[in-house]
Chain A
């Protein structure tokens, strides 16, 4: 039938990577990701894992802030909930590693849903402050966890757990093995998010962000859509938290303060709001920049014996400058810069 032809055309038209250049780039990326852990030192492997863990949280938060336009500056709270849920399930109920992940996601998602409720009434700055309050409430709860769960200390240790016994005997092995585990979950999150934003729910997210009156009038239940965004992004944060718990082998609330929330937020700003890839560029930038500065600073160890004390200030300064640069010069972040570069070469040699 005629319509059959049309359908294949539309499917082609809706492809994520319509050209061979794009597909080739994807193959290169995959090759890099596969080869990397075999050639990288433990230091870089650890850094890569940290980047991927942040990327998971950032991709999830981007769905909420970048796509749906709902600002949250308390997202680390949901990472924390995922981490604590995983830690308690593993240590108290002996639930082995991958099986506790869905529970961590559900707990974080439900709490995210509850703290998303004010979004029906509050916008912009007011909502941001409500999410900040959410962060503090969750942290208070975790700091006083001993009131609710018997015999928990300030931090929960997961070592040795089932996963460690199975295949993570030493720290170096752990970095290598967890590289694959985290990469697997990050890939799932990225594929899920990319698909979500090109289908019905994701379009509703952007509609709510761009024009919430028009969104209502075409039949989008705006409040429900906001809650979905809160829940999905919190679930993804919970996933990241569960992975952090197992990877680090120890869970402590100090890792999940407002500082962490702001760090993830800055990844979105630097990487590019409203682009899935942007969250990852941002996570790379924010994680690698201080590491590079440290490496660079250590080159001067002989001339400047005090360099170790100066490095943290340089890191903070560079971080602040980077955020200011992107806010002013490239509000659409690294993702946009990368797109411009690609456009330049797409037209090359006629690019001017």
Chain B
């Protein structure tokens, strides 16, 4: 039933992906930590305005892959092309962010002492300009900018239904709300590509439902491409357009949810065991 919110254009993309240029091409990524091969030879494409899931058992390398995309980890091998021209593996995290790549973390990484509003305003950082001098003077350019971006942030707050907590310090919020604020901070960046690392982990089914609804609404409203790591198979098969499966750092499946469900290697490695 959740699939109703997807446009026919998107289903065209998923049935015939080769027809469009991928927004991101992960190519032959190899990442080692000492003797541990966290990722080896991982490659797949992410297509515009799709929800791309990454699944796999714990320790499969899912978070490591997101970290490579974000520029936090430097893979020893391979490249990640964004928009066909930028190799993210050669860039610093803040440069990747400026290209329009936003993310949330598996273990919430918010600015704990700041209010929800300030966290979301930090999401606007790349779109704002004021420096030390105009900020120190404040009245004039900086204030104008604050107001303008506050407007955008309020829109995100409405979208995520967190109006009631906007002035609260995030450290004081319940886990589920913190997850939502972290999603909000990523959305405030108005990204082209949104990376979500287990956004529903640790939530009850009602909260999961809410989160899935937010993700779908946002994808629709902002024409976003989403890379989603998620353990809940029901959710993954329901909302994603394509699924990549990792196991021990290797890609063992990549395709539509139905294709992946029928893939024997995937069934053996993952689906069979957990469900």
A285 CB, min distance to chain B CBs, angstroms? 23
Q: Take A200-B135, A219-B97, A219-B189 as given contacts and tell me if A195 and B72 are in contact as well, using a CB distance cutoff of 8 Å.
A: no
B185 at the interface (CB under 8 A from A): yes
Question: Chain A residues near B105 (CB, 8 Å)?
Answer: 214
Contact across chains for A216 and B97 when beta carbons are under 8 A apart: yes
A200 to B145, CA, bound (A): 9
**Bitwise interface map of A from 190 to 207 toward B, beta carbon under 8 Å scored 1, else 0:** 011101101111111011
Question: Chain A residues near B114 (CB, 8 Å)?
Answer: 203, 206-207, 210
A147 at the interface (CB under 8 A from B): no
The size class of the interface chain B forms with chain A is: 35 or more
A14, A200, A206, A221: residue with the most chain B Cβ atoms closer than 10 Å = A200
Question: Chain B residues near A202 (CB, 8 Å)?
Answer: 135
Question: Chain A residues near B142 (CB, 8 Å)?
Answer: 195, 199-200
Contact across chains for A11 and B128 when beta carbons are under 8 A apart: no
Question: Chain A residues near B143 (CB, 8 Å)?
Answer: 11, 14
A219 to B70, CA, bound (A): 10
A202 to B132, CA, bound (A): 8
A228 at the interface (CB under 8 A from B): yes
**Bitwise interface map of A from 209 to 246 toward B, beta carbon under 8 Å scored 1, else 0:** 01101111111111000001000100000000000000
Binds B, one of A2-10, A253-261, A293-301: A2-10
A132 CB, min distance to chain B CBs, angstroms? 26
Question: Chain B residues near A7 (CB, 8 Å)?
Answer: 147, 151
Contact across chains for A217 and B132 when beta carbons are under 8 A apart: no
Contact across chains for B93 and A199 when beta carbons are under 8 A apart: no
A302 CB, min distance to chain B CBs, angstroms? 52
A127 to B127, CA, bound (A): 31
A171 to B220, CA, bound (A): 73
A243 to B156, CA, bound (A): 47
**Bitwise interface map of B from 109 to 150 toward A, beta carbon under 8 Å scored 1, else 0:** 111111000100111011011111011111000110111001
A191 to B111, CA, bound (A): 24
Question: Chain A residues near B123 (CB, 8 Å)?
Answer: 218
**Bitwise interface map of A from 1 to 31 toward B, beta carbon under 8 Å scored 1, else 0:** 0010011001101100000000000000000
Task: Give the contacting residue for A200; candidates B112, B130, B186; CB below 8 A.
Answer: B130
A43 CB, min distance to chain B CBs, angstroms? 34
Residue in A closest to B113 when the chains form the complex, CB atoms:
A210
Question: Chain B residues near A217 (CB, 8 Å)?
Answer: 70, 72, 93-94, 96-97, 102-103, 109
Chain A, range 309-326, C-beta contacts under 8 Å to B: none
Contact across chains for A213 and B147 when beta carbons are under 8 A apart: no
Question: Chain A residues near B70 (CB, 8 Å)?
Answer: 217
B98 at the interface (CB under 8 A from A): yes
Question: Chain A residues near B92 (CB, 8 Å)?
Answer: 216, 221
Contact across chains for B146 and A199 when beta carbons are under 8 A apart: yes
Contact across chains for A203 and B121 when beta carbons are under 8 A apart: yes
Question: Chain A residues near B138 (CB, 8 Å)?
Answer: 195, 198-199
Question: Chain B residues near A3 (CB, 8 Å)?
Answer: 151
B115 CB, min distance to chain A CBs, angstroms? 11
Question: Chain B residues near A191 (CB, 8 Å)?
Answer: 136
Task: Give the contacting residue for B126; candidates A206, A213, A218; CB below 8 A.
Answer: A218
A241 CB, min distance to chain B CBs, angstroms? 20
A222 to B70, CA, bound (A): 15
Contact across chains for A213 and B146 when beta carbons are under 8 A apart: no
Task: Give the contacting residue for A219; candidates B94, B112, B146, B150; CB below 8 A.
Answer: B94
A232 to B135, CA, bound (A): 12
Contact across chains for A14 and B130 when beta carbons are under 8 A apart: no
A228 to B70, CA, bound (A): 24
A6 CB, min distance to chain B CBs, angstroms? 6
Question: Chain A residues near B122 (CB, 8 Å)?
Answer: 203-204, 207, 215, 218, 220
A173 CB, min distance to chain B CBs, angstroms? 32
Chain A, range 100-121, C-beta contacts under 8 Å to B: none
Chain A, range 25-61, C-beta contacts under 8 Å to B: none
Residue in B closest to A221 when the chains form the complex, CB atoms:
B94
Contact across chains for B130 and A216 when beta carbons are under 8 A apart: no
A11 CB, min distance to chain B CBs, angstroms? 6
Contact across chains for B136 and A196 when beta carbons are under 8 A apart: yes
A255 CB, min distance to chain B CBs, angstroms? 28
Q: Take A7-B147, A11-B143, A218-B125 as given contacts and tell me if A201 and B130 are in contact as well, using a CB distance cutoff of 8 Å.
A: yes
Contact across chains for B136 and A216 when beta carbons are under 8 A apart: no
A202 to B146, CA, bound (A): 12
Contact across chains for B151 and A200 when beta carbons are under 8 A apart: no
Q: Take A201-B132, A203-B118, A218-B123 as given contacts and tell me if A10 and B72 are in contact as well, using a CB distance cutoff of 8 Å.
A: no
Residue in A closest to B103 when the chains form the complex, CB atoms:
A217
Residue in A closest to B170 when the chains form the complex, CB atoms:
A210
B162 CB, min distance to chain A CBs, angstroms? 16
Residue in A closest to B151 when the chains form the complex, CB atoms:
A6
Contact across chains for A204 and B125 when beta carbons are under 8 A apart: yes
Question: Chain A residues near B130 (CB, 8 Å)?
Answer: 199-201
Q: Take A11-B143, A195-B136 as given contacts and tell me if A219 and B151 are in contact as well, using a CB distance cutoff of 8 Å.
A: no
Question: Chain A residues near B93 (CB, 8 Å)?
Answer: 213, 216-217
Some 6 contacts from A to B, beta carbons below 8 A apart, are A192-B137, A195-B135, A200-B145, A210-B114, A217-B72, A218-B123
Could you tell me which B residues sit within 8 Å of A by CB distance? 70-72, 92-94, 96-98, 102-103, 105, 109-114, 118, 121-123, 125-126, 128-132, 134-138, 142-143, 145-147, 150-151, 154, 185-186, 189
